[in-house]
Structure 1
C-alpha cells in the first residue's frame, strides 16, 4: 500500500513537471541542452534540428551586415539584410516542442521572404511585432500599423510604427524616414547613426529641422544630430562647431578630437542648470574613448573633475583613482561601487 502511495506521488510529480515544462516552453524559454541533445540525436528530427541551427542564433549576426553600428540588441533587426537560406514557415511548425525556437524560425522565415503574413503565426506579442518590423518593405507597411500600438503589453515607450520606420530608415539609409519617428530621441539617434556610418553632404544637414525639443531628445534637433554624425564620419573636429547645442558640441569634440581640443573650448556651461563646463563634457567623451584618468586634470570645474574620475572608475573597474575625488560623499560612493564590481 505504501509503495502504491509513493508511486502515485511520483506520478503526480511527473505530471506536474511535464505541465510546467509545457508552460515553460509556451512562454518562449529555451529547452535545456540535454533535452535538445536527446531530441537531435534521433534521425527523424534531423531537419528540425537544422532549422534550430538556422533560426536560433543571434539575428544580428545573421541578418545584418554591420552590427557594430548598434550598441543594443534591441536594434539587432534594424539593419540591412544579408542573403540567407530561405526557411519555409511550414518547416518551422515542426519545432512545436519549443515556442522559442518555433517563433525564431518563423521570424527568420519572414525576414528572408519579406512576407509579413508569416508573422501572424507567432503568438508572443513582442516577437510578432519584431517579425512585422523586420519583414516590412515600404513605409506603407509601417503606416498599416496602428499609431499607438506598443511593442508589448505594459511597454511605456516603444511604438511599433516608430520602430518600423526606424528599421526602414536604417536599412535604406533614408534620413527623411528617421524624421518621421514620433520619438525624437530615436529620430536623432537614427540620423546620427546613418550619417556617422555612410556620410552625407552638409546641405542635407542644413535642410533638417533646427526646432529644439528640450527634455525630449538627447540630440535636441535633427540638424545637430546630423552634424554630430558627420563629424564622426569625416573624423573632422571642425565639423563639431556647426552643432548648436553646447553639450552635444562638447561631446562631439571629445569623440572626434584630442584632449588638446578639449583645452581650446570656451569655458561655457554645457547646458542650463549644469554643474559642468563644455571642456568637462569634452573630457568625459575622451575618457569614454581612451580611458586615461590623467585626462581628468583637464576639466575646469571641481564637479567635472570628480565626475570624470568616477566615470573612469566605472568604466575600468580600477578603484585606486577614487582617492582623487574631492567630494567626500562621491568618493565613498566611488569606492563602494568599485568594490561591488570586483
Structure 2
C-alpha cells in the first residue's frame, strides 16, 4: 500500500504510521529519511519494549532515549549500561532505582544532584525517611523530609526540617492532607 505513494515524504509517513500500528520495526527500514527511520524504531521499541530495536537506531541521542525508556518501563538496569551519554545513563540509574525502590542503584550516580534526587525519589516511593539522611545538601535533605512527610501524612517528620519556614509549611500542608 505505502509503496504506491510517489511522494517520498508521504510514503515515509505511511510506513511510519503502519509500523507503529502493526508494531513492526521492519517497516521502519523502508523509510528513506534517517531521522524518521530512527524515530520510527524508537517508537516501535517503546511500544513493544523490545530493546533489540534500539541497536538499529543510528543516532546516539535516539538510541540512548530508546534504552532509557525501555529500562524504566521494564525496570532493567542492564539497559542503562548501553546508554552512551553519561547524563542520560545516570538519569536511567535514578529512574530504575525509583521504579524498583533499590537505593543501591543511586550509588552508581556520580553527579551529586542526581544522586540526591535518586535518594529522595526512593525515600518517597518507599516512605522511608531514613533514606533522606544520605542526602548531603541541607536544602535537598529538607525537601526530602517534606516530601516523605506529605506522602506518609505524618507531621512528626516535619520536625527534621532545619529551615523554619519550610518546617512550618510542612506542618501546614500535612495537616491539610489529613
- Fold shared by both chains (TM-score > 0.5): yes
Matches of residues 1-342 of structure 1 in structure 2 within 5 Å? 169=20, 172-173=22-23, 191=43, 195=46, 198-204=48-54, 207=57, 209-210=59-60, 222-241=62-81, 242=83, 244=85, 245-246=87-88, 248-257=91-100, 258-266=102-110, 268-269=111-112, 277-342=113-178
* Alpha-carbon distance in structure 1 between the residues aligned to 2:120 and 2:52: 27
Count of aligned residue pairs for this structure pair: 147
Distance 1:322 1:200, change over 3 A: same
TM-score of the aligned structures, taking structure 2 as reference length: 0.62
Q: Is the 8 A contact 1:231 1:256 kept in 2?
A: no
> Which runs of 5 or more structure 2 residues have no equivalent in the other structure?
1-12, 29-34
* Alpha-carbon distance in structure 1 between the residues aligned to 2:155 and 2:68: 32
Deviations 1:63-83 (A, max 9, x none): xxxxxxxxxxxxxxxxxxxxx
Counterpart for residue 144 of structure 1? none
* Alpha-carbon distance in structure 2 between the residues aligned to 1:243 and 1:327: 39
Q: Is the 8 A contact 2:116 2:135 kept in 1?
A: yes
* Alpha-carbon distance in structure 1 between the residues aligned to 2:150 and 2:68: 25
TM-score of the aligned structures, taking structure 1 as reference length: 0.36
Deviations 1:126-181 (A, max 9, x none): xxxxxxxxxxxxx66xxxxxxxxxxxxxxxxxxxxxxxx8xx95x654787xx87x
Q: Is the 8 A contact 2:77 2:93 kept in 1?
A: no
Bigger relative contact order, structure 1 or 2, given CA contacts below 8 A and separation 6+? 2
Shift, 1:191, TM fit: 4.6
Higher mean Cα deviation, 239-248 or 313-322? 239-248
Shift, 1:243, TM fit: 6.3
Q: Is the 8 A contact 2:97 2:105 kept in 1?
A: yes
SS in 2 for 1:326: coil
* Alpha-carbon distance in structure 2 between the residues aligned to 1:302 and 1:205: 42
> Which runs of 5 or more structure 1 residues have no equivalent in the other structure?
1-138, 141-164, 181-186, 212-221, 270-276
Distance 1:203 1:300, change over 3 A: farther
Let me know the Cα RMSD of the aligned residues.
Answer: 3.5
Q: Is the 8 A contact 2:150 2:174 kept in 1?
A: yes
Distance 1:297 1:330, change over 3 A: same
Q: Which structure has more helix as a fraction of its residues?
A: 2
